[in-house]
Amino acid sequence: MFQLEELLITSIASMLDGLRHVAVGASSPIPGAAALLARSQSRGRLQVSLLGSVRHNAFTDGGRELFDCAAQGRIDAFFLGGAQIDAEANINLVGIGEYPKTKARFPGSFGSSYLYFLVPRVILVCLEHSNRVLVPKVDFVSAPGISPQNVYRPGGPHALVTDRCLFSFDREACRFRLRSVHRGEDLLSIRDNTGFDFDAPAKVPETPAPSPGALALLRGEVGKEIAEVYPSFAKRVWDISVAA
């Protein structure tokens, strides 16, 4: 058996195959574990920059170096989320309601729009797949998912990973496409809980279960590595404590 977190981690790790450099921002235990798993599976060929880590981060100046690397085309994948995500992969990290009189305020956009434009493979992560989060149109565009054709934009959305399913994003059609559903879900349950329309195959496959080898890494080496930055996550999911 496996846990939902393990399914999401292995699903994301499979999207990082063959890349050179993956960066992970703050408050991202699942993407962080996925990047470390992908590195283990690549036998160290993948470089991982995990912000907040001493052991798995070569940056000495945090976000500024991350932005510089992105501008130089030296980061292949990054992760973003939002309080709202819409049909065009726009994300909202500012607030709910009409700006500036929002009913709820969030930490803010920080460098999300900058990285969204520059990093070729941005993977969106949503751990509450509901009509409240996946909406027809975000209340505030913190970072746009698409741009006019005359705008130079090497970066953009690659996929959306949720606690119910996996979507890919078609940049030419500017639409999400259902890629697979997690165990216990189906096309109807996904449509019922998604506030925007999306494409889907005639028969939707189930998200592949983690392999025994991937689970062994997560419950051992990778779990211990991610515990350095996210000790409560590692303790809750794998009962792994930070090494003394």
pTM value?
0.96
Question: What is the distance between the alpha carbons of residues 168 and 64, in angstroms, rounded to a whole number?
Answer: 29
CA distance linking residue 132 with residue 139, whole number of Å: 11
- 244 has a pLDDT exceeding 60: no
Rounded to a whole number, what is the largest CA-CA distance in the chain? Answer: 54
The average pLDDT across 167-172 equals 97
User: What is the model's pLDDT at position 58?
Assistant: 86
Share of the chain above pLDDT 90, in %: 91
What are the sequence ranges of the domains in the chain?
4-238
| Distance between CA atoms of residues 112 and 2, nearest Å | 32
DSSP string, 45-82: -SEEEETT-STT---SSTHHHHHHHHHTT---EEEE--
Of all helices (H) and strands (E), which one includes residue 30?
helix 29-41
**What confidence score (pLDDT) does residue 206 get?**
98
β-strand partners of 48: 22
* CA–CA gap between residue 2 and residue 4 (Å, rounded): 7
Domain spanning 4-238, CATH class? alpha beta
Quote the crossing angle between the two packed helices 231-238 and 29-41, to the nearest 10°: 70
- Give per-residue pLDDT as tens, 218-239: 999 999 999 999 999 999 999 9
- The pLDDT tens digits for 210-221 are 999 999 999 999
CA 216 to chain centre: 22
> What pLDDT, on a 0 to 100 scale, did the predictor assign at position 143?
97
| pLDDT tens per residue across span 99-116 | 888 999 998 898 999 999
Beta strands 121-126 and 157-162: pairing type? parallel
